[in-house]
Amino acid sequence: MSPMLVQIVFGWPFIALSLLVSVLGIIFERPWMVFLGALLIAPFSYYLNGTPRFSGFALLLPLFQAGSAWAVKEESVTWSWILLVPTVGIILWLILVGLITPQ
């Protein structure tokens, strides 16, 4: 696998695409879009699971998004947003740490 493809699949492009697809899926009430977002975040979550800080919890991120898809299917928009919060929170935290940590 080429290094560029690895960076795309395990990095920020798939993370951003996952969040975008999931948010649009909730807004337009399309559970399959939210589930697609869960599939897109899975490689990143597997990679993040290798860090001591997120070991174990990171593997739950796709499950939270799958739960969000189920909530959209059951027409519970509030729960779908709540179940998306852990993924958004970790991603925002990583962005913050990346911005304040010197390179």
Q: What is the pLDDT of residues 25-77, one digit of tens each?
A: 999 999 999 999 999 999 999 999 999 988 889 999 999 999 999 999 999 99
Q: What's residue 8's pLDDT?
A: 66
**Amino acid making up residue 67:** G
Residue 55: name the closest of 45, 63, 64 by CA: 45
Q: What's residue 92's pLDDT?
A: 93
CA angle 25, 47, 59 (to 5 degrees): 60
Is residue 1 scored above 80 in pLDDT?
A: no
CA 16 – CA 33 distance, rounded (Å): 14
Q: What's residue 54's pLDDT?
A: 87
pTM metric for this prediction: 0.87
